[in-house]
Amino acid sequence: MSNRPRIGISACFFHADPKRPIFTGKTLQYVEQSIVHWVQSAGALAVVIPSPEGTTRRGDVTLADYADMLDGLVLEGGSDMWPGSYGEEPLKPEWSGDRIRDAYEIALLRAFIDARKPVLGVCRGMQVLNVAFGGTLYQDIATQKPGTQAHRIADLYDQHFHPVDLVAGTALANLYPGVTRAIVNSVHHQGVKDLAHGFVVEALSSDDGIVEAFRWIGPSYVAAVQWHPEFHDWTRSDVLSGDPLLAEFLQATRTSNTESAKIGV
């Protein structure tokens, strides 16, 4: 058997749409290819984890089965979270998010936490982690925290960048020796408002203090960044490389497997 880490990636959803010209009325589950290529860049195998729920469900496969089979989980970016997931009403209809995906990803996260398998969140994935552990979000940073810098410019998308400050002494800062301030892309308009209990902040937006990275202090590896390391141009030296973060996550999967083997799991 291959000794490559097997990394599950959460799915994005195109919900059933009777007006869509192809797959008319069907639900699609997919991943953006950059996240797959980023995970595979370090030699890991990327596996899409589909939701077993839905109107066409058959069989008895559960998310816990995937957590048992795989070595780690990446919660990828995508749509807004539904404010109801953290006890709020949408301030605008366009910020209603995707409650079905929320429920799927929170259940998926719980399955991997229960299995003590490492989890890495990216952009939306960081927001899912915060909400799942009891935190809340800004539904729209510009509206709810006036005076902040732009965190999303639609026309620029992943070519919009801003600086973040790494918190000294944290595990993230230790991955980048000598780096106190770095440039990252920024494609989100929602973000952490109330930080979930049990998490420590590892990076902040330099100009306005929006949380840009955090880590769980619980018994297994759970970390997240608000930017998209998979979108970064690997040839650019002026943006923060995602390689050390990915390497740490994959090493955590190997450590987790070793510890499980020792106790006969």
Residue 2: both structure tokens together: 């291959």
User: Is 123 among the catalytic positions?
Assistant: yes
Is 160 one of the annotated active-site residues of the chain? no
**Catalytic one among 12, 76, 230, 232?**
230
Q: Are 44 and 25 in contact (CB under 8 A)?
A: no
Q: Catalytic pick from 151, 188, 228, 232? A: 228
- Catalytic site includes residue 189: no
Of 123, 162, 189, 202, which residue is the catalytic one?
123
The catalytic residue positions are 123, 228, 230
